[in-house]
Structure 1
Amino acid sequence: MKLSLKFRQIVIFVLGWVAYASTYFLRKPLGVIKVDLKSELLFSKSQLGWLDAALLFPYAMSQMFLGAVGDRFGARRTFAITLFISALSMITFGNWSSFYILVTLLFINGAAQAHCWPNCGKILGTWFSDKSRNSIFGLFGASAFVGGIVGTTLAVFLQAKYGWRNVFVLPSLITGTISLLLFFFFRESNEIGIDIPGRESSKESGIETQNVQKLSLLQLWKVICVKECAIGMFSLKLVRYTMYMWLPMYLLNVLRYSKAQAGMFSTMFEIGGVAGSAVIGFVVDRLLGGKALIGVSISIFLSAICLILFIATSGWGVIVNSVFLLSAGALNCGPDSLLGGSISADLGERHGAAAAVTGLINGFGSVGGFIEGPLIGFIADVLGWTAVFYVMVIICFMGSIAVYRAARLYEINQSRRSKQPESGKEPTNV
């Protein structure tokens, strides 16, 4: 029985969506158990910050310097194997009390997970037309935030029922099982000889995939709009991981929520992220004519405004807190799936390096993620929590300006190319 293209697209989308969501099952518990690590193992705030860095530093470096692994050895195999390694590294996390062993396990987890998003995005991109890519990646990007919500909820439940030492066991088993499904079923469209209507493949553009071997990191950095997009991603991830890793502690210590309330209420930011990610692709395609960079710049700017309003009204109660956390989450998390997905994939495909460029942009963004740990720990200790939020606001404004510059550079480049005979095509939806 021959399967229809629509059915295959749905299967690929759902499997990839669930698989990438599961990566957060192995990230989010760390933010939930920080209070336990501080009280039981006597870790300082600086040590807690370095645990964040141990996860996110190898994540960033692997994406930036090893992003081409999937281009060279196959996106499906790379995604499946690294997800399995990630699950294996965390299953014994609760059995240890040594700070250095916990750092090592988080390091392995981060290095392995670095290859999940670039290769997942590469495979997903082969299954859908160029015209629908922003919308598809917007919906797909919600997987990260749903995964974060489920990961946090599961961690809170396991922490309350079985103690913090057991919060990684079940998530590791789930993620390991999903990695096996990926290995057998998560294939690129060209692996099974399917042409996607409305998609300009690398072959049609006259670009061979093997060209990725000729592009150094510096050459990838010089691809139009890449460095500006990377700075934008840096700002998004620094702010987001600060909210992931420190918001429960802020709610507990400053706003006086209970431990369970702080863990669960911190998901408001991610719930907003689900809505923002799902909606932004459609807004860009339908209202902004596919001008994704402009949409991303506006969204990051508005997220900064929402953070200002959250701090200004933090003492007004749960309802007001919820409104601004949801809004900030939607406006911060929504652009991520475009900036680190459809936009970066389009930029990379024109050079036969979709996974490499996606990895570079996301990896540079993750530098913000691992800087977040020690930086926020230091600022919270020395200057207090209010200063933490205003640092995030400044960084958001910086990211918004960088992405706006990318949009202007792209328009100038398109204008110049339109005056020359067609010798190639730039991405049409950035």
Structure 2
Amino acid sequence: MTQEEMSSKRALVFIVTFVSYGLYHASRKALSGVKSSIKADWLSNTSAHEPLFTNEADAKHFLGSLDAIFMAAYAAALFFWGWLGDRLNPKWVVAAGMVGSAITLTLFGTVPKWLNFYSVPYYIMTYIAFGLVQACGWPSEIAIMANWFGKGNRGFVMGVWAACQPVGNIFGSIFTAIVLPLGYEYTFLLNSVLIAVGSVVVVAAIDSSPDEEHEESVEANSAEPHHNLHGEPISLLKALLLPGVLAYCICNACLKLVNYAFFFWLPLYLTDAYNWEESKADQLSIWYDFGGIIGSVLGGYITDRMGKRSPLIVMMLVCSIGSLYVYAHVGPYMLWNALVMTTVGVTVSGPYNLIVGSISIDLGSQPALAGNTQAMSTVSGLLDGTGSAGSAVGQLLIPIIQDDLGWQAVFYVFMLLNCFAIFAILKRCIIDLKTLRKFRSGEQSPLLDETGEHED
């Protein structure tokens, strides 16, 4: 393959995986963008159906439970799909998850409305299934990106690519705002159609690695099986014990709880706190995701130039504590609300994207693996899975805290969790700062990976 062909292939892989995971995230946005509408439907008493709940508090708690159920199923499945993604072709895992997401999302949000069938067990089972298939995406997408893009400018490349999450959120909010007047059930249907079409593009357009199309010839001319060229897949326990993995798992468990709380609850918070229309709240909430894009791209670029990632992540998290405090008190002024919300996105969603993107690849390709490229999906699934487990707990606690203490107390909890996230990687940050200081004095190179080991 010539250099020009390689560049074209990389561009295609980048675009297709970016869009495909954006569609994964857009589909998750379907429920969070229509919570007020679906809650009203559950509480209504019509000739077609009896109310699913008798009071608003029960409906809100069930919505929180659904978010927690989704995140718990998603977290558990991430460990499995991450492990399996290093043993199967990741392209097919991604596509299977997209098809499964289309089916389960329609079953959850569209079918009950059309058939006037409202059942708590049914909603629980279909949303568990949705969480299970959604987990196919991230570890395998990361593995594909790692196969195609090397260490050069990794932070910037993955910072831009990881912005697929907030971009997907933005388009999910836009889709919801446009389609919502037709009925909330059509927001689920539209997202299902889009992600199903995306699965076809993934299968048709990309290869999982640069040498995939030459695999047969490589194996035929090699004295050893092809997989020995890249090492063997590793266990979850071995992945957890790799340098740096546990610290970032703990950090991500706290940070993802805060990030996904905004993902799941921001539109409902805006409608509850300020009595804004749901479609207007959906449109305003995209500023958080714009902030996430800015933080992800700039963070990736800056950490590439620094040669280290943890110092910038810690600095962003420190800033997030102040921005969360301001946002809790910003009031019903849309311009100021959008500006501060963007700042929160930069300092919360930005470092989250860096951890699950650039640092996932750093940890999954570190020197301790001795060149083994068959650990990327496993490490990525472990890192994001522990984050999702923390987020699942948070989605259960948020409605309880809000009911008892109010929305401001929720933001104070977010500030506390980000403090814990800082402490989890503070040791790593101190080591990296000492390394950078030695580099400035000419004692050594700053090009170390996130474990503190020298890169080859």
TM-score range normalised by the length of the shorter chain: 0.7 to 0.9
Aligned equivalent of 1:170: 190
1:205-244 to 2 correspondences below 5 Å? 209=230, 211-213=232-234, 215=235, 217-244=236-263
- After superposition, where does 1:138-157 map in structure 2 within 5 Å? 138-157=159-178
Tell me the alpha carbon deviations over residues 8-63 of structure 1, each in whole angstroms, 9 at most, x when there is no partner: 11111001110010002210011111112222113522101011112211111111
Q: Is the 8 A contact 1:142 1:277 kept in 2?
A: yes
| Within-5 A mapping of 1:89-168 | 89-92=104-107, 93-96=109-112, 97-160=118-181, 162-168=182-188
Distance in 2 (alpha carbons) for counterparts of 1:207 and 1:269: 44
Instruction: Provide the alpha-carbon RMSD of the alignment.
Output: 2.5
**TM-score normalised by L of structure 1:** 0.88
Q: Number of matched residues?
A: 405
Is 1:291 equivalent to 2:308 in the alignment? yes
What does residue range 211-360 of structure 1 map to in structure 2 within 5 Å? 211-213=232-234, 215=235, 217-286=236-305, 289-315=306-332, 317-350=333-366, 351=369, 352-360=374-382
Matched, 1:45 2:27: no
Query: Helix, strand or coil: the match of 2:211?
Result: helix
Matched, 1:184 2:204: yes
Structure 1, unaligned stretches of length 5 or more?
Answer: 195-202, 419-424
Aligned-pair identity in percent equals 27
TM-score (norm 2): 0.83
CA distance in 1, matches of 2:5, 2:41: 55
Separation of aligned partners in 1, 2:100 and 2:31? 18
State the match for 1:383 in structure 2.
405
Structure 1: distance between partners of 2:213 and 2:452? 27
Q: Aligned letter for 2:97?
A: T
Instruction: Give distance in 2, aligned partners of 1:290 and 1:55.
Output: 36
Helix, strand or coil at the partner of 2:141? helix
Instruction: Give, in whole Å, the separation in 1 of the partners of 2:283 and 2:327.
Output: 18
Which runs of 5 or more structure 2 residues have no equivalent in the other structure?
44-52, 54-58, 113-117, 216-223, 439-443, 445-450
1:78 equivalenced with 2:93 (yes/no): yes
Residues 274-294 of structure 1 show CA distances to partners (whole Å, capped at 9, x for unaligned) of 2211221111112xx221122
Kept in 1: contact 2:99–2:195 (CA 8 A): yes
CA apart distance, 1:131: 2.0
Partners of 2:310 and 2:432 within 8 A in 1: no
- When residues 298 and 428 of structure 1 are mapped into structure 2, their CA distance, relative to the original with a 3 A threshold, is farther
CA distance in 1, matches of 2:147, 2:452: 17
Higher alpha-carbon Rg? 2
Distance 1:163 1:340 in 2: 35
Task: Please give the alpha-carbon distance, in whole angstroms, between the structure 1 residues aligned to 2:191 and 2:431.
Answer: 43
Instruction: Provide closer, same or farther for how the CA distance between residues 427 and 36 of structure 1 changes in structure 2, counting only shifts above 3 A.
Output: farther
| One-letter identity of the residue aligned with 2:130 | N
Measured in 1, the distance between the counterparts of 2:228 and 2:336 equals 52
Aligned-partner SS, 1:83: helix
The alpha-carbon distance between structure 1 residues 70 and 409, as it changes in their structure 2 partners (threshold 3 A), is farther
- Letter in structure 2 aligned against 1:370: A
Residue in 2 that maps onto 1:22 = 23
Deviation readout 1:199-250 (Å, 9 max, x if unpaired): xxxx9xx98655324x2x3322111111111122122211111112111122
